[in-house]
Amino acid sequence: MSTSTFPVSPTTGEPISTIARRSRLGLWLVIVADIAGTIALVISYTYLWSLNVNGGWAPPGATLTANQTNSTLPTTPSTATFAVEWPFWGILLVLIVATALMWFGYRSARSGNHAGLIAGAGLSFLVTVAVLVFQWIQMSTFPFGAGDGAYASAVLLLCASNIFHLFLLLFIGMGIFMRARKGLIDKTNWYQAQLASYYMTWVCIAFLLGAILTTFLVESPNTDPAIFGTFKQQ
Amino acid sequence: MSVETAVETKTIFGSEVPQPPQHGAAGGVMRGLNFGTGLVGGIGLAAVAGWITAILTPSSASNASFAPMEPTYVYLAVLLGWVVGFMLGIGAFVGPLRWVVGRDVTHADAEYMAGKDLGRKRYWKYTTDHKVVGIQYLIVTMLLLGFAGLLAMLIRTELGMTWTSLFTPAFYNSMIGTHGIAMIIGMIVVVSGPLGNFIVPMMIGARDMAFPRLNALSLWLFVAAVPMLVSSMFMGGIQDGWSVYQPLASQAPVGMLGYQMTIIVFAISTAVASVNLMTTILTMRAKGMTWSRTPIFVYGIFAASIMGLYAFPFFQYSQILGLADRVFATSFFDPLNGGSVWLYENLFWLLGHPEVYVILIPSTAVALELMPVFLRKPLFSFNFAVAGIVGVVALSGLVWAHHMYMTGWAPAANYPFMLSTELISIPVGFLVLVAIGTFWRGTAWTRLPLMAVYAVIFNKMIGGVTGVYLSDVPADQYFHGSMFVVAHFHFMLMGAGLFGAMAGIAYFFPKMTGRFLDERTGSIGLWTAFVGFQITFISMFVAGLQGQPRRVLDFDDQFNLSNWISTIGAYVIGIGMLIFLSAIINSWRSGVIASSNPWGSKSLEWQTETPVPLENFPVLPVVTERPYNYGVPDPYEAELDSIDEDLTEKAGTK
Ligand code: HEM
Ligand SMILES: [Cu+2]
């Protein structure tokens, strides 16, 4: 019997490389499920955008360059309008910075630069906090409320999904940072930092999809929408 | 970087493994946590959350149609409080928190969490051992199916008593919806949960699942989800069927939140379980277990996991959007404000159809798995069986709109969907042919598991053929929304799915419990249920052909006769199921002790001893041949055979 010289899992005695391979696959599969959920959101957004049912896509106060389809509603005067586009990109940009920092931390871990790992993970965490704050500010200052039509609903849900992802990232980032400081992530055992970088990269893509939708698919192309009655309880 | 000097080590399978520092007794906080603390946490937090929400909600809060919002907010808070509190109380968050603060689990901790030396207590805890999780899944699923079965009996009683009404229409509708979704959830897990967890790791020669803690997580999320569904019955119920179409779902009483939360939580459970099973199967197969040496049951579970993984999020989001509409007044499904009910139907059926294969494929795979054992010959074309499963998975996401022919959504798309639906009969046909081919000229050793397979094949045939009628757009104009549809999917879900699960449970019972499932009572129960099943649902086809609409409690007198027959049949099913259940309970307690490989099977799960040791295999097995080489002489045996033959010849000439 010999004491293992390569890093092994304390619970099963398997080499860390085995655990890492397994976890990496697990993470890819989690991302598959996450992608499916994000696609469900994208479908919801684009579907309602393309239908513009009852002319109710745009918030009631929006000025449309196309026909004013939302004016067919029994409108109450409203100032609700489309969201400004740049904050979606701004938030994405800051998230990309956080992701890059995590990647930097992970690459540092692999090359044995432990200080780089701690700095990368720690800063990544802090920047992710900033992203969360920005996302929150954006969400609470939208020029529309949840009840202002399908566009408002879809955008708010995209932002809620962002916030959910950010909370996950905060948890992961905090873990990587604390574990790095304890020496649990290092030159021989870096797969968790790698997985964190992968997942953050996917979250950037999810944010990117949201930014694309809210920038390029704003006014509905459907200027002659179907008109239905309401099902609201009388 | 702080380096621990003089690290402790532990001997694991013969090698010294350095250990992280041990904090306190093995298991740490988990020592004090179990199902009881989970209940306390769940009920406690639910009560507190509900109470605080009630205080904080201004009594004037109301929605666009002036209905007060307080019940909605309070019920939602109670449900969220329950889930979080229950998971907290049972210890689901301990692992993640330890990970964050870097207090890694030691070998001793892991052994405690796997239930080592805990005896029966381990079944009440957040235990990571896949065999414990399998048994826990079995019990919870049986309870859930039992609950849904009770509702079924009440529904049939109401429909059979054509001269009076037992229930109000609203309560009747709520029973229908709850029965439907409870059965669907139960059937989704009934094979993948108990057998996927207990058997699959052993079948592939692994010591546990890839992520044992996630395994416990998926189980307990499932346990957390189910009471929310039951609770909704007391909050006005789910009155618009298991598919909770919009806009009815938005108009429904607050009980709908119970459905939505159940699905949201259950979807997480399914995703976690799928990731775990797939990773286990992909990375932990024994040395030598190439894809052509991997048992077909493993393929079936893998296929179900893929479909669950990609499809369930759609269902989950359909419910998240519905919940947002209800609670935050968004308008995803409200046409007045730009929403669309077709969006709901599409999201729902994007899961809804793949999910029927999530149910069908594992139980078909159980049947294919145990046929070679009882027919003592290889599976007839293993490759075709695999091709069938792959084909079903590949097409599963392309057929969903056959549920929407009559909704008016994209009528032009009906025909492509009709084509894709009918195409899927080809891979399904492969599976049937493999079954028939395996029976062909086989010598059947008809024990209880194989009897259940006979039932599966018969029922699946009827379900499949009627499905093809339904997928025909013109025919579906007549059938849609009728009892014909109900009979079709019961033939599939119950006839193929549940009987398949019964086959699997009977077959694996000796490994799971160390005892035989009593053949006498078991088969009496099985055949009674089978006969009752035919009476109930053949008669329901007739009602459907006559034009009886589904989900309606008062109907025209012309349908009375077929409903009476169906109700009598349902009681026969009920009796049969109770007999089968009593066989399970009695055999579990005091059945005949089984040896470790009572069916003489060649696959790995039977090669380890019973009761299965914590680590499954003291030494990891190596696989050297295809899984079903029954009756295929190996050279050494052939030699022995030829010697035997000489002897018989001599004996014959004497
Ligand atoms: C050959 C295979 C199958 C075909 C062609 C088929 C076809 C169909 C079609 C076209 C419908 C829609 C009928 C309507 O609403 O008008 C339907 C309904 C249904 N099928 Fe199948 N089916 C098949 C297999 C299955 C299987 C394997 C299951 C379950 C294990 C299943 C479960 C259901 C359910 C639950 C519904 C009713 C959904 C509802 O409206 O509540 N089917 N089937
Ligand atoms: Cu279908």
Can you give the CATH number for the domain in which B206 is found? 1.20.210.10
**Is residue B20 one of the residues assigned to a domain?**
no
What Å distances lie between residue A88 and A139, A161, A174, CA to CA?
10, 13, 25
CA neighbor of B208 nearest in space, from B607, B620, B515, B623: B620
Residues of chain B scoring pLDDT < 50? 1-5, 652-654
> Do B213 and B287 sit in the same domain of this protein?
yes
> Do B445 and B512 sit in the same domain of this protein?
yes
pLDDT score, position A80: 84
Q: List, for residues B525-537, the tens digit of each pLDDT value.
A: 999 999 999 999 9
Domain boundary, last residue among B62, B79, B109:
B109
Which pTM was predicted?
0.93
> Do B354 and B241 sit in the same domain of this protein?
yes
Instruction: Note down the domain range covering B81.
Output: 35-109
pLDDT score, position B654: 39
B113 to chain A, any CB pair closer than 8 A? The answer is no
**Is residue B428 one of the residues assigned to a domain?**
yes
**Is residue B459 one of the residues assigned to a domain?**
yes
Domain spans, chain A:
16-65+79-216
How many structural domains are present in chain B? 2
> Do B204 and B327 sit in the same domain of this protein?
yes
Atom of ligand 1 nearest to the CA of B425: 1
Q: What percent of chain A has pLDDT over 90?
A: 68
Q: What percent of chain A has pLDDT over 70?
A: 88
Closest Cα in chain B to A53: B338
**Is residue B586 one of the residues assigned to a domain?**
yes
User: A16-65+79-216 has which CATH code?
Assistant: 1.20.120.80
> Do B172 and B82 sit in the same domain of this protein?
no
User: Quick one: three-class SS letters along chain A?
Assistant: CCECCCCECCCCCCEHHHHHHHHHHHHHHHHHHHHHHHHHHHHHHHHHHHHCHHHCCCCCCCCCCCCCHHHHCCCCCCCCCCCCCHHHHHHHHHHHHHHHHHHHHHHHHHCCCHHHHHHHHHHHHHHHHHHHHHHHHHHHCCCCCCCCHHHHHHHHHHHHHHHHHHHHHHHHHHHHHHHHHCCCCECCECHHHHHHHHHHHHHHHHHHHHHHHHHHCCCCCCCCCCCCCCCCCC
> Do B441 and B410 sit in the same domain of this protein?
yes
For tokens 């995590």, the residue is: A102
pLDDT score, position A234: 33
> Do B92 and B166 sit in the same domain of this protein?
no
Which DSSP category does B613 fall into? P
**Is residue B644 one of the residues assigned to a domain?**
no
β partners of residue B509: none
Tokens at residue B289, please?
């277990």
> Do B103 and B173 sit in the same domain of this protein?
no
pLDDT score, position B653: 45
Ligand 1 neighbourhood includes B480 CB (under 6 angstroms): yes
Atom of ligand 1 nearest to the CA of B482: 16
d(CA B323, CA B72): 10
Residue A102 has pLDDT above 60, yes or no: yes
**Is residue B5 one of the residues assigned to a domain?**
no
Query: Ligand 1 test: best mutation among B315, B356, B478, B550, most atoms within 8 Å of CB?
Result: B356
Q: List, for residues B286-329, the tens digit of each pLDDT value.
A: 999 999 899 999 999 999 999 999 999 999 999 999 999 999 98
> Do B70 and B157 sit in the same domain of this protein?
no
Q: List, for residues A196-233, the tens digit of each pLDDT value.
A: 999 999 999 999 999 999 999 998 888 888 777 655 43
d(CA A3, CA A13): 11
For tokens 């904090």, the residue is: B23
Backbone angle region of B116, left / alpha / beta, with phi > 0 → left and psi within -120 to 50 → alpha: beta
d(CA A139, CA A161): 12
**SS3 for B549?**
strand
Which DSSP category does B399 fall into? -
Whether B17 and A228 lie within 8 Å, measured CB to CB: no
Q: List, for residues A53-63, the tens digit of each pLDDT value.
A: 888 888 887 77
> Do B403 and B538 sit in the same domain of this protein?
yes
Whether B251 and A157 lie within 8 Å, measured CB to CB: no
- Confidence at A68, pLDDT banded by 50, 70, 90: low
CA neighbor of B87 nearest in space, from B121, B40, B128, B48: B40
Residue A67 has pLDDT above 60, yes or no: no
Half-sphere exposure of B219 (CA within 13 A, CB side): 32
pLDDT score, position B274: 97
Q: In B, residues 274-293, which contact A (CB 8 Å cutoff)?
A: 274-276, 278-279, 282-284
Closest Cα in chain B to A39: B314
**Is residue B652 one of the residues assigned to a domain?**
no
Residue B91 CB neighbour total at 10 angstroms: 24
Query: Cis bond leading into B611, ω under 30°?
Result: yes
Cβ atoms B309, A32 nearer than 8 A: yes
Average pLDDT over residues A22-33: 96
> Do B205 and B262 sit in the same domain of this protein?
yes
Cβ atoms A75, A60 nearer than 8 A: yes
Atom 19 of ligand 1: nearest residue by CA position: B489
Backbone angle region of B309, left / alpha / beta, with phi > 0 → left and psi within -120 to 50 → alpha: alpha
Residue B234 CB neighbour total at 10 angstroms: 10
What Å distances lie between residue B249 and A55, B253, B350, B353, B441, CA to CA?
23, 8, 18, 20, 53
CA neighbor of A191 nearest in space, from A13, A26, A3, A61: A26
**Is residue B66 one of the residues assigned to a domain?**
yes
d(CA B198, CA B132): 8
A76 to chain B, any CB pair closer than 8 A? The answer is no
Q: What percent of chain B has pLDDT over 90?
A: 77
d(CA A210, CA A218): 12
d(CA A94, CA A211): 13
Whether A33 and B310 lie within 8 Å, measured CB to CB: yes
Spacing of C-alpha B87 from chain mean position:
21
Residue B625 CB neighbour total at 10 angstroms: 11
> Do B143 and B88 sit in the same domain of this protein?
no
Distance B471 CA to ligand 2 centre (A): 9
